[in-house]
Amino acid sequence: MISFQPQSTLSILDNDFYKFTMQQAVVRLFPSAMARYHFINRGKHSFPDGFGEALKARIQQMQFLQLSAGEKQFLRENCPYLDPLYLDFLAGYRYDPAEVTIKQHGADLDIQIEGHWYRSILWEVPVMALICELFYEMTSGQRIPDELLISQTAAKAKQFRVLGVNVAEFGTRRRHSYHVQKQVIDTFSHEGGNMFVGTSNVHLAMLHQTRPIGTHAHEWFMYHAAVYGFPQANVSALQHWVDVFRGDLGIALSDTYTTDVFLTHFDKMFSKLFDGVRQDSGNPIEFADKVIAHYNKLGIDPLSKTIIFSDGLDYEKVARITDYCNGKIGFSFGIGTNLSNDVGLIPMNIVVKMTETRQMNGQWTPVVKLSDSPEKNTGEAAMIEAAKTILKIKN
């Protein structure tokens, strides 16, 4: 039997910020909704014997996490759009490991998360982070030493600083380890100057007194498609976001059902109200052209809006996007794996995605994502084809 002890150094805020913002919206609007998530091994990684049991032990430790008074105060002072009722709810929230089912079949791993959406929504990111950290531990992967990690991260910070761009760290879910991610943010905090604008990891944002960054994820739109239908998914998801946050957290994710479809729904009201959009798949230059043309068509100055680029970024890609977008539209970057898992080992290519949702006393309904990069599509094949037909998507 694998023994474990509560780890007091862990934090319930060691998660991406958009999980908490979405949780507030779900608590307020959809408290009866149920959700299922599944682990997808995109990289076809082979898991060593005993991995499933070791992961279960790590998951068990999560039940001891709770919001501290200091963490609650940090959220109260830095995130005024998180209302007092939600902060009180979060203070009482505890992870329930019974919501996570883990099975290992040879080198394959099967993970399902199921529960009320307002509860199960917090599992995705820490489960992925635990998988990555445990995988490197159990396969004896030797990463670069801290001295080299710090020096190469400092060099990246200098490159971005010289380029004159805004960069946020988005690497929690596929980080090598908590230690590596913290070292990266330590270094960016000291070396990045005004270039470094924050991190998606709320716990590390608090430690470094920087901004927690994020709004919503694909699951927000996937749920709305299941409940309101594919033609109304984007509009209902955006409207409900506005209903909860009243203009705060104004970066909209555009590619749950392709950017082309999203922009047909992103009318003048939403285009004016939201501060910008996030690019998470497809060709970033083509995306920029589409978004700039969209704002121009509506009579909105693209320079008053922002694109957050967040898809597989490294310095070369950031430099190319910067050169193209300068003077045309506002832009910023969220960089994940290239910061939190650039340690001389092959980064894991894994995701955990919502696969089904259920309303109170209803049936489970499959949900899908139709990305600007078709290889990132998720969901049942029949439902994907139905969505493509209804939304007239050809790829």
Q: Are residues 128 and 276 in the same domain?
A: no
In this structure, are 186 and 287 located in the same domain?
A: yes
**105 and 206 inside one domain:** no
Answer yes or no: is 377 within a domain: no
- SS3 string, 32-85, reads CCEEEEEEECCCCCCCCCCHHHHHHHHHHHHHHCCCCHHHHHHHHHHCCCCCHH
Mark whether 90 and 51 lie in a shared domain. Answer: yes
The answer to whether residue 395 is domain-embedded is: no
* Residue 1, pLDDT score: 25
| Residues 152 and 124 placed together within one structural domain of the fold | no
Q: Which of 275, 278, 273 is nearest to 243 (CA)?
A: 273
Domain count within the chain? 2
Asked if residue 332 and residue 282 are part of one domain, the reply reads yes
Q: Which residues of 343-368 are buried (b: 16+ CB within 10 A; e: fewer)?
A: beeebbebbbbbbbbbeeeeeeebbb
Instruction: With CA atoms as reference, report the closest residue to 284 among 249, 315, 308.
Output: 308
| Contact criterion met (CB below 8 Å) for 342 and 181 | no
Residue 256 contacts residue 370 (beta carbons within 8 Å): yes
Q: Encoding tokens for residue 373?
A: 């990069």
Return the CATH number at 223.
Answer: 3.20.140.10
Nearest to 108 by CA among 52, 37, 57: 52
Domain end marker among 295, 320, 340: 340
Q: What is the mean pLDDT of the chain?
A: 96
d(CA 183, CA 178): 9
Amino acid at 241: W
Closest of 176, 226, 213 to residue 35, by C-alpha: 226
How does DSSP assign 237-292, residue by residue?
HHHHHHHHHTTSS-EEE--TB-HHHHHHH--HHHHHHS-EEEE-SS-HHHHHHHHH
Domain match, 25 and 158 both: no
Residue 392 belongs to some domain of the structure: no
Q: How far apart are CA 128 and CA 122, in angstroms?
A: 11
**Are 162 and 299 in a shared domain?**
yes
Asked, for residue 72, whether it belongs to a domain, the answer is yes
What integer is the mean pLDDT of 350-369?
94
Between CA 99 and CA 175 the distance in angstroms is: 23
- Each residue of 76-91: pLDDT tens digit? 999 999 999 999 999 9
Same-domain check for residues 266 and 118: no
Structural contact between residues 334 and 308, judged by C-beta atoms closer than 8 angstroms:
yes
Q: Is the separation of the CB atoms in 265 and 239 below 8 Å?
A: no
Arithmetic mean of pLDDT, 30-34: 98
Tell me whether residue 362 is in a domain. yes
Establish if 322 belongs to a structural domain. yes
Q: In percent, how much of the chain has pLDDT > 90?
A: 95
Contact 350, 43 (CB under 8 A): yes
Residue 347, both tokens: 């980064």
3 state DSSP class of 168 = strand
Residues 82 and 172 in one domain: no
Tens-place pLDDT, residues 79-128: 999 999 999 999 999 999 999 999 999 999 999 999 999 999 999 999 99
Query: Please, what's the b/e burial string for 66-80 (b: 16 or more CB within 10 A of its CB; e: otherwise)?
Result: ebeeebbebbeeebe
SS3 94: coil
Residue 292 class from Cβ within 10 Å (0-12 exposed, 13-18 middle, 19+ buried)?
middle
Asked whether residue 202 is assigned to any structural domain, the reply reads: yes
Supply the range of the domain harboring residue 217. Answer: 146-340
What residues have CB less than 8 Å from 273, skipping those under 6 apart? Answer: 242, 247, 250
- Two tokens, residue 230: 């594919």
pLDDT at 8 over 80: no
The percent of residues in the chain predicted with pLDDT above 70, rounded, is: 97
Same domain, 181 and 227: yes
pTM listed for this prediction = 0.96
Question: With 60 as the cut, is the pLDDT of residue 250 above it?
Answer: yes
In a shared domain, residues 170 and 301: yes
Residue 376 domain-assigned? no
